[in-house]
Amino acid sequence: MPRLNRVQLEDFSGALQTRTNDALMLDRQVKHVLNGEFSSALGSIIGRMGSIVQSTVVSAKQTLNMAQWLKNDGTMKYFAVADDGQATPKVDVYVNSNNDFSGTWSKSLQDWTTSLNINFTNFANKLFAFNGVDAPVAFDGSTWTAVTNAPATGIYPEVYNQRLYVLSANGTLYYSDVINSSGTDFTTTAWTDRGINPNDGQKGRMLIRHRGRLIIYKDESIYRYNGTNEPEAVITVGTHSSNSVVLLNELYHHHPTGIWRMGVGEPVLISRSVKKYLDGMDSSNWTNVAGGRDLENVYMWIGNVTIKDPFAFDYGRSYTDVVLVYNVYSNNWTVFSNWNARKWYYDSVAGTTYFATSTGKIVKINTGYSDIDGATANKIQFEVIFQPINAHFLEKDKEFDQVFIIGKYSSDILIGKDYEDMKVRSAIENEIGTANQGITCKELWVGVSEEYSDIPPRIDALIVDKINLLSDTL
């Protein structure tokens, strides 16, 4: 039996790729990863960091939003929006003086319209609040007061060119007078409006300032507006979820066709490598996709997923609370699970990231190596499946005698003729997992599985040696 060259994979910087067939996968890509990341040590796969519940705003009621009031002198307060939990519910704004969303919450602004989120922006040392129905108000550090002439139909506020702008659901863009010379209020109480193709059958979904322009999102279109131009919908891929829009140098958003990135030019689809997860989400969740960020990653919560691709190895498998994670510097994807991240908030003062859950909790991420909720430290399930090893002889049977996985872990090494055949066949010693099995097949499937709650697993290399071709000649 001819002996083939051993296979040594020691660079996994290509990260997750679910879109291509096995023969076309690059050596540095993996077929599957869950709760692992590729950015902490380039070339390696490391179990993700954990999370910790900071507080509960209203128990069992979804936290709809989070915000900070920021004054120029550094004074700040933290706010959250939630259903008040009463028999006849209203939406309230709660305040917390702690600087990390921890501690006890008290009502600050009460009895706004049921189930409507409240959106905020800081301007003129005030925190402005809009929800599209109730009269807009502003917080000055101690009290909330009405904003004279501000439109009640405004939902998405943004500051641009020394004015406060706000977009309504029907596509009307409202804007205030410019700020006064002391920077504490508007010069006058006048508000003006203009239409952005109003009532065109698409909802206004988000307003955000980016690279010297206002970006206006609707369901199936995006507009750019500099304050004077006539905006046109030359971009015909918008978003159904205002919460999915993320600014991290460039803009990112979810659309039913995938996750898109937009700089100064046209938006680009970047999510092909994780398409099976997007295809596996329920379309009723398109309006609920929630995007967040930290210093180098974009997070997209897409909810529960069931894989629908009949050619996928995990066809029919369900994943809970899937978060797709994109690293903006290495341009790669990974997949996290069990983060019920219905709304995200990035604290630019502290450089920390939080998400809010459907049960009222506010959770801080990138801390420790378990998901901590009070006294409970939930273990994180880490999974990797490498690209199947065929030693460049796709059509012929081989005998695979030795498998080594190099790293720092206490993981189970799974080996088999295919996904269904994968079993634990390993012994770990001196940070090297070894399997001597003599498995005969056309391609060898190798994976790693580990539950951890303290030191995360780290995978540095996969080596398959002593590969015998079951043929007389090469």
Backbone angles phi, psi at 50, to 5 degrees: -100, -160
Instruction: Give the residue among 161, 169, 154, 156 at the shortest CA–CA distance from 227.
Output: 161
| Stronger pLDDT, 424 or 29, i.e. the higher one | 29
Please compute the mean of the pLDDT values over residues 385-404 and round it to a whole number. Answer: 92
Q: With a cut of 80, say whether residue 429 has pLDDT above it.
A: no
Burial (0-12, 13-18, 19+ Cβ within 10 Å), 129: buried
- 185: confidence class by pLDDT, cuts 50, 70, 90: very high
Task: Output the six-digit token pair for 247.
Answer: 């600014």
**pLDDT value of residue 224:** 97
Q: How far apart are CA 259 and CA 299, in angstroms?
A: 11
pLDDT single digits (tens) 43-77: 999 999 999 999 999 999 999 999 999 988 888 99
- 85: confidence class by pLDDT, cuts 50, 70, 90: confident
**pLDDT value of residue 73:** 84
Instruction: Give the residue among 441, 409, 359 at the shortest CA–CA distance from 64.
Output: 359
Q: Give CA torsion, residues 391, 394, 397, 402, to 10 deg.
A: 20
Q: Give CA torsion, residues 100, 103, 107, 109, to 10 deg.
A: 0
- The amino acid that residue 396 corresponds to is K
Please compute the mean of the pLDDT values over residues 175-201 and round it to a whole number. Answer: 97
Please compute the mean of the pLDDT values over residues 142-166 and round it to a whole number. Answer: 98
- 427: confidence class by pLDDT, cuts 50, 70, 90: low
Q: With a cut of 90, say whether residue 408 has pLDDT above it.
A: no
- What percentage of residues in the chain have a pLDDT greater than 70? 98
- 215: confidence class by pLDDT, cuts 50, 70, 90: very high
Q: With a cut of 90, say whether residue 317 has pLDDT above it.
A: yes
Q: With a cut of 70, say whether residue 202 has pLDDT above it.
A: yes
Q: How far apart are CA 371 and CA 391, in angstroms?
A: 39
Burial (0-12, 13-18, 19+ Cβ within 10 Å), 193: middle
Q: How far apart are CA 19 and CA 203, in angstroms?
A: 32
Q: With a cut of 80, say whether residue 350 has pLDDT above it.
A: yes
**pLDDT value of residue 430:** 67
- What percentage of residues in the chain have a pLDDT greater than 90? 86
Please compute the mean of the pLDDT values over residues 102-113 and round it to a whole number. Answer: 96
Do residues 108 and 95 make contact, with C-beta atoms less than 8 angstroms apart? yes
**pLDDT value of residue 432:** 80
Q: How far apart are CA 232 and CA 200, in angstroms?
A: 13
Q: Give CA torsion, residues 452, 453, 459, 464, to 10 deg.
A: -20
Do residues 7 and 463 make contact, with C-beta atoms less than 8 angstroms apart? yes
Beta bridge partners, 414, equal 424, 447
pLDDT single digits (tens) 245-285: 999 999 999 999 999 999 999 999 999 999 999 999 999 99
**pLDDT value of residue 473:** 59
Kindly list the structural domains of the chain, giving each domain's residue range(s) and its CATH number in brackets, ordered by start.
Answer: 3-48+383-469 (2.60.120), 51-379 (2.130.10.10)
Residue appearing with tokens 């120029």:
72
Q: Is 449 helix (H, G, I), strand (E, B) or coil?
A: strand
Q: With a cut of 80, say whether residue 472 has pLDDT above it.
A: no
Instruction: Give the residue among 413, 305, 390, 410 at the shortest CA–CA distance from 24.
Output: 390
pTM: 0.96
The DSSP H or E segment spanning 279 is: helix 275-279
Pairing of strands 371-373, 51-56: parallel
Q: With a cut of 80, say whether residue 1 has pLDDT above it.
A: no
Q: How far apart are CA 178 and CA 384, in angstroms?
A: 54
Residue appearing with tokens 């507080």:
55
Q: With a cut of 80, say whether residue 346 has pLDDT above it.
A: yes
- 438: confidence class by pLDDT, cuts 50, 70, 90: confident
- 99: confidence class by pLDDT, cuts 50, 70, 90: confident
